[in-house]
Structure 1
Amino acid sequence: MRKPVLLFLGLLFVFGGYAKMNQPSWITLFNGKDLNDWTVKIRTHDLGENFANTFRVEDGLLKVRYDGYSSFDQQYGHIFFNTPFSYYLLKVEYRFVGDQCPGGEGWAIRNSGAMLHSQDPRTMLKDQDFPISIEGQFLGGNGKDKRSTCNLCTPGTHVVMTDSLFTPHCINSQSETYHGDQWVTAHFIVLGAEEVHHLVGKDTVISYYQPQIGGGNVAPVDSDVKIDGKLLESGYISLQSESHPIDFRKVALIDLSSSKDDRKKLEELVKKALK
């Protein structure tokens, strides 16, 4: 009887290893230890200057804090992962905490975001408020009102929705409201200049197509960089500081570029990753 048992165990090992080999491979963007793979750009400050230690790593979390600010004074900040991507599945786990920095705008209470297909931070002007990008806007509940999350905002960009160019700055998603300091898991399926889907957990809450440069809501900006009508096929990923403290405990990505020409394989990879 030993041989069949050993054979069975061996088969389990082989097929288990095969299954593991065929699982999507997550790339950890935030390693829980440092920000060596990231670049900070805060409005009115030079590239790479992490003013007042706005972005920091504590307790294994990437934290955005304002204890070094006397007033926020529209010092919008972004921290960019140093490698650009084109086709990918991004996972971000976040929570809002504490009180808003003095001087922050009313609309920025429990407000942050993940910027997708961002311009290279080295091309941003010193006083530029936001990168040209597609924003997956994070909103936290205020304890009473409905506030969806994973909304869409478009600093210096447009998208196509229902076969028409969508030019307003923001549109709400169909997500639930997440009050308090609870952790929320956001996913973004970004397929080059083809389509983008925002998910809360595993539920798609908004979709759009053909992200492209255009419109306003970003200033000042280099006219050589802001080429209206240019499709956004790739770009950087950045996380915001907009005056309300926020924690990020996971920022990870599956690169889908090798499967971009095989729609069935691409869909299978995303489905496996979201299980």
Structure 2
Amino acid sequence: MENILKFTISSFLLLSLVLMSCFTDPKEEKEWQYLFNGNDLSDWGIKIKNHEFGENYNNTFKVDGNVLKVSYEEYQSFEEKFGHIFYMKKKYKNYHLSLEYKFSGNHLQGAPAWSVKNSGIMLHCQDPKTMLLDQDFPVSAEVQLLGGLGEGNRTTANICSPGTDVDINDKLAKAHCNSSNSKTFHSDDWVKVEVIVRSNQLIKHIVENDTVLTYSNIRVGGNKVPKNYLKNIGSPLKDGYISLQSEGHPVEFREIKIKEL
């Protein structure tokens, strides 16, 4: 009887392991690829307003302790130096992007008031080499990252549309920026943001595991289309580069990784 019981228990455990292996993909975590290696800015390219592509004016973007930083330590004043750092190794179309961000330090003198604790993840960006010298932002869909100001509501992972239009609930989002339903993060702690992108068909913004916004139909349009993109108005943005933004407030990024879908 004892041997039969041992055999039954062993068989049950073996069957459980087999079933678990059927429903668990051992490669799932290995599918994530880190875009930022934590050591340097390899595979990234920089475009700052009124500077040529590749010039990291005043070391705006730097690496410090496995963190990618937007730094204004060498600035005296902002002077409209809107900047973006692009992952240049490839364009992406269908993917799951994940990163953590936090604001730090003080808002730079001369930067616009709206840019206090304000940054962004830019999706489906135009090639930065095609940006005009004095262009503020790449044609893209922006996951606007905001920090709380100590009181009141200030949602994060909103959608802004530099040079683009998007639909929310199948209707044109007429405002340049449209709010998510996230909570406000007043303290300068790390906040995890994820974006699930299905070309230009469906995009989801996720904050700390909660879906806070969905939209669709990214296309060239709106009131911030650069002169060399006017002929593309109405064209769908089905893929593009990914970039991170510098708008006048120091911000840090880490755990920047992607899984293609």
TM-score between the two structures when normalised by the length of structure 1: 0.85
2:57 corresponds in structure 1 to 51
Answer with 161-170 or 200-209: which moved more. 161-170
Cα deviation digits, residues 149-200 of structure 1 (max 9, x gap): 0001000000112222223201111000001211100011110021111110
1:113 corresponds in structure 2 to 120
Distance verdict in 2 for CA 1:104–1:87, change over 3 Å: same
How far apart are 1:14 and its partner, in Å?
11
1:235 corresponds in structure 2 to 240
Aligned mates of 1:47, 1:226 — CA distance in 2: 23
Aligned mates of 2:242, 2:231 — CA distance in 1: 18
1:71 corresponds in structure 2 to 77
How far apart are 1:13 and its partner, in Å?
9.5
Aligned mates of 2:150, 2:213 — CA distance in 1: 23
When the two chains are superposed, the root-mean-square deviation of aligned CA atoms in Å is: 2.3
Aligned mates of 1:223, 1:96 — CA distance in 2: 34
Structure 1 counterpart of 2:127, one-letter code? D
TM-score between the two structures when normalised by the length of structure 2: 0.90
Aligned mates of 1:224, 1:44 — CA distance in 2: 18
2:107 corresponds in structure 1 to 100
How far apart are 1:17 and its partner, in Å?
10
Structure 2 counterpart of 1:52, one-letter code? N
Aligned mates of 1:251, 1:17 — CA distance in 2: 30
How far apart are 1:31 and its partner, in Å?
1.2
Structure 2 counterpart of 1:116, one-letter code? L
Distance verdict in 2 for CA 1:19–1:126, change over 3 Å: same
1:60 corresponds in structure 2 to 66
Instruction: Verify the 8 A CA contact 1:123 1:225 in the aligned structure 2.
Output: no
Sequence identity (%): 44
How far apart are 1:223 and its partner, in Å?
2.6
How far apart are 1:225 and its partner, in Å?
6.5
Q: What residue ranges of structure 2 are gaps of 5+ in the alignment? A: none
How far apart are 1:21 and its partner, in Å?
2.9
Choose which of 81, 87, 97 in structure 2 pairs with 1:81. Answer: 87
Aligned mates of 1:180, 1:143 — CA distance in 2: 8
1:262 corresponds in structure 2 to none
Cα deviation digits, residues 68-106 of structure 1 (max 9, x gap): 111101110000001110001111200001101111110
Aligned mates of 1:113, 1:40 — CA distance in 2: 15
Alignment of 1:31 onto 2:37 = yes
1:216 corresponds in structure 2 to 223
Three-state SS of the structure 2 residue aligned to 1:21 is coil
How far apart are 1:12 and its partner, in Å?
5.0
Written as runs of structure 1 = structure 2, the 5 A alignment for 1:1-275 is 12=17, 19-23=24-28, 25-82=31-88, 83-217=90-224, 221-224=226-229, 227-256=232-261
Instruction: Verify the 8 A CA contact 1:161 1:208 in the aligned structure 2.
Output: yes
Three-state SS of the structure 2 residue aligned to 1:100 is coil
Cα deviation digits, residues 18-72 of structure 1 (max 9, x gap): 8343425111111111111100000001100000111000011001000111110
Give the number of the structure whose alpha-carbon radius of gyration is greater. Answer: 2
Aligned mates of 2:27, 2:53 — CA distance in 1: 40
Answer with 72-81 or 223-232: which moved more. 223-232
Structure 2 counterpart of 1:121, one-letter code? P
Aligned mates of 1:14, 1:162 — CA distance in 2: 40
Instruction: Verify the 8 A CA contact 1:187 1:200 in the aligned structure 2.
Output: yes
Runs of 4+ in 1 over 4 A off after TM superposition: 1-5, 11-18
Instruction: Verify the 8 A CA contact 1:169 1:217 in the aligned structure 2.
Output: no
